[in-house]
Structure 1
């Protein structure tokens, strides 16, 4: 990858989109992870107002400190960067207290994890509204179009996706090019939605390097029968997630009524 040229292309694309949309700038949720760090840096590089938003919900201290380090670095480097911290822990707890529950704790835990992401999405759009800005998505290609590892109408609810055509390895490459804090570059990727230390790899069952390989193999028309051992296991993980999460990747189905029935 021509890192410098790709970086310039994304920055120009972001700036042109915002100008054509007649908005002032961008709002980015900053989590302390590599994807949001790169996205917020790219937005900042446009020169347009970029609001970095922290939205802790029972967040691990390490994630909070990485987010704060990154935002402080951006503000030092770019005059167009500002920040706001919205602690949504009480909001999340209030939500838990008013909704019905069931005995299946696994389903409850997953639903509440997705609820965290959706509360954050609502917050970002509120801030975008009052700042005449666009919500910039932080999903990469493997997450958005490979395994669908994001929350529908949560972190998947955005106005534009500047890094969604970058593999995770390319995200790391660009992040290093821009000098994203090392603490973020070396941290294990995590969605931080469960309030514990589980990583993305723990949840998915495969690393991003493995998933990138599987995505490439699928694009080449390979099947599980082409592989054995760990490669076959990873490929099956990828295909299963790619299949069950198509509802996130495809347009919302519309029931089109035949004209003769109208």
Structure 2
């Protein structure tokens, strides 16, 4: 059953709309750690709601567009929009930015870039998880290669023109960080003008650092800083007497 969208609003008039795409289980509460700092920085934030049924659907990116449409009903016409997500949601964010107009930036955290390589690689390494992944998509890579191509951001690199931020941990055993490196290579080969990549040593899929807790606060701060650097969020006011 789909969980309703959540909303976070800034203390003053929003200068940016952000649609956050949740992960595999579609639970928007899992992205609160990112939504709250974005709202505190001046963004109106909502979460995408996927349709019930198989995960990693071809229409998943429509959930991002629906989230943007809902924000547009409330925000000033001049407000720009950004799409971001984690895991499944990072993949959806890249697909949305590649196939829908006017997203001003996209941040993909621990995202899959090649669905067939992700799922196919599990067959020998983790057969139980392989079966789970096949069931969640409704077919194996051999049964429906077209589905796997169409739901892979690598297929849509040519459509990505907005600034891209990719963040991934080297100890991610759910979606290995190779997926971010493949995406980076493809974007740079396509001469994308604005790609930034943060590879986090010793960090796992949920931004855990083994037994040392989580680095989610650092990741959220990185996303906020990246958006500020592109003029999509206001700069931090300098302290009186201190240089800007």
Same fold per superposition (TM over 0.5): no
Name the structure where helix makes up a greater proportion of residues.
1
Name the structure where strand makes up a greater proportion of residues.
2
Question: Could you tell me the TM-score, scaled by structure 2's length?
Answer: 0.33
